[in-house]
Each structure stands twice: as C-alpha cells, then as structure tokens.
Chain A
C-alpha cells in the first residue's frame, strides 16, 4: 500500500471508529429515554462484560479454545475467586498477571 493510501486508510478507519462512539451522545442526550429502554440499557453492561470475559478467557487467540491446555482458563479461576473475595481490581489484576506469568514460564 502506498503512503497516500495508508493515510487515507487511517482517516477512513478514524471516521468509522469514532462516529459510533460520539454520535449517540450528540444525538440522544436531549431526549429522555422511556423506562423500558433505560432498563434494557442497564443490562448492556453486565452483558458486554459477560461476553468480553468469555471471549478473553475461552477464545484468547481469537479461536474458541475449550481444553485443559488453555492457560487463560486456569488463570481465570483464581482471578475470579480473588475478585469475589476481595472486590479489589488491584488484587485481581496482580493475581491474574502473576499466575499467567507462572503458567507461561513453568507449564
């Protein structure tokens, strides 16, 4: 790809990646959503996090990997327990990263 095409590509990707984030705030901020829609939107966060967690643990490289060789799954269990027990992002991250480092280096 030529340098000009690369710049065009960057500008194009910029537009299509920024508009969906910015437009809802620009367009919808002046409206009061109906109660039912608000409730529906309140479930978007747990749904998105459920999906992101599932993908990052069970499809870490982009393909679904449900096997005992999936290191991400083995790091998931202690991290989840620490998250439930401590309710601390710091400790969850610390435990998750350390266990993953151990799995990478010693398994």
Chain B
C-alpha cells in the first residue's frame, strides 16, 4: 500500500463527493418515499453504485412497474461501463494486479472514470490510488444516501446551494484537461453533438443513456480517422 497514492486518490475524490452529496441525498429521500426502508436504500447504494440506475428503479417502482423492467433498464444504463472499463485496461495492464483491479472496478462511475483517466495521462495507475479514489467516492455515495433516507423529511430543497453544478463543473474542467490536441477537441465536440442529436431524435435514449454509448463510438472512430489522415 503506497500511502501517498492512497492520499492522492482520496484527495481527487473530494469534488466527486461534493457532487454526489445532493444526488445521493435525493436518492435516499425518494427511495424512502416509494417504500424502501433506510437499510434497503443504503444497501442499494452499497451494492449497486449506479446513480442513474437507482433513480430509474425508483421511477419504475413509483409507476408500479415490474422488477424485470428495472433490471432490463439497468442493463441498458450500465452498458456504457463496458466501454469505460475496457478503455482503462491498457493503463492498468502491468501496473495493477488483475484481481485487485477487477475488484476496485466496482467503484467505476462516470465521475471516477473521468478523474482516473485524467490522472493516468501523467501518472501510472496504482492499486492504492484506485482504492483511494473509488472507495472514497463510493463511501460518499453511501453516506449521502443514508443521510437522505434518515433526514429526508426534515430538509427541504438543497438546490439553492449550487451543489447541483458540482458534477457539471467537474466534467467541464476534466474535459479541458483531456483535450490537449485538436483531434481530441473535434472528438469531444462531435460526441457532444451526436449525444444531443440522438437524445433529441430518440428521447428514450436519454433515459437509458444509450446516446452516450453511440455518440462515444461514433466520435472515437472519427478520432481514429482524423489521426490516420495526419
């Protein structure tokens, strides 16, 4: 265990936790409202750690939908992680033992992915860094869910604190970090465009996040084409 790496991972998770607070809290509140106990709501955040997927579960439960619907929707929502996780493999190879890397990938989310891949541009991955980042983010998610499930009925709207912009601000900044070459900028812009276009044409894709997968596949392929031209 490398202490410095662990510390860095924890430090890098702070902006993520800030963004998770209102989201996890709101999940706890809503879960409680649709009839989940405090333990169930919290355990869902322990075992699933999928913000969008957990919100979908609440939505389907509220509408009286079936268990099968929730699981199927979650298959779709979480498919993008196949892509994220695969793109991390070349970085982890030879640096983090496969067994540990697999276990710690439990904590892979949109946010931990963005932070980690940015870090790996300049620093080799370590199990300690992964643990610091992914576990702290996960603990933040679990804690905010628990707080929401317990305190939900006492606290009103948290929007006025501006915390709803924590994750967008983080994406914006990491996007700036990750776009060093013109080809990266073109990839990011085209992905943004296709993601919105697909979401506009097929509204269902917004809900299951398939637009992110398709836009990423198109934009990354475009990036390879641009690279080949030069």
Contacts and interface: CB of A to CB of B under 8 A. Distances in A.
A63 B204 CA distance: 10
B15 A89 contact: yes
Which interface residue of B86, B92, B159, B194 has the most chain A CB atoms within 10 A? B86
Interface in A42-76: 42-60, 62-64, 72, 75-76
Given A11-B47, A52-B110, A43 B223 contact: yes
- Size class of the B contact interface (CB-based, 8 Å): 35 or more
B124 interface: no
A55 B199 contact: yes
A22 B162 CA distance: 33
Most buried by B among A17, A38, A49, A90: A49
Contact of B188 (A47, A83, A104): A47
A47 B219 contact: yes
B67 A24 contact: no
B84 A48 contact: yes
Interface stretch (B2-10, B99-107, B147-155): B99-107
Contacts of B81: 17, 20-21
Contact of B191 (A24, A47, A58, A75): A47
A25 B92 contact: yes
A9 B57 contact: yes
* Chain A facing B: main interface SS: helix
A79 B175 CA distance: 12
Q: 10 nearest interchain CB pairs? A: A96-B169, A101-B162, A50-B188, A43-B223, A54-B192, A100-B165, A100-B162, A92-B173, A43-B220, A50-B191
Interface of A: 1, 3, 5-14, 16-18, 20-26, 28-30, 32-33, 36, 38-60, 62-64, 72, 75-76, 79-80, 83-84, 87-90, 92-93, 95-105
Interface of B: 15, 18, 35-37, 40, 43-44, 47-50, 53-54, 57, 61, 67, 70-71, 74-75, 77-90, 92-93, 98, 101-103, 105-106, 108, 110, 113-114, 117-118, 159-179, 183-185, 187-196, 199-200, 203, 206-207, 211-212, 215-216, 219-221, 223-224, 227
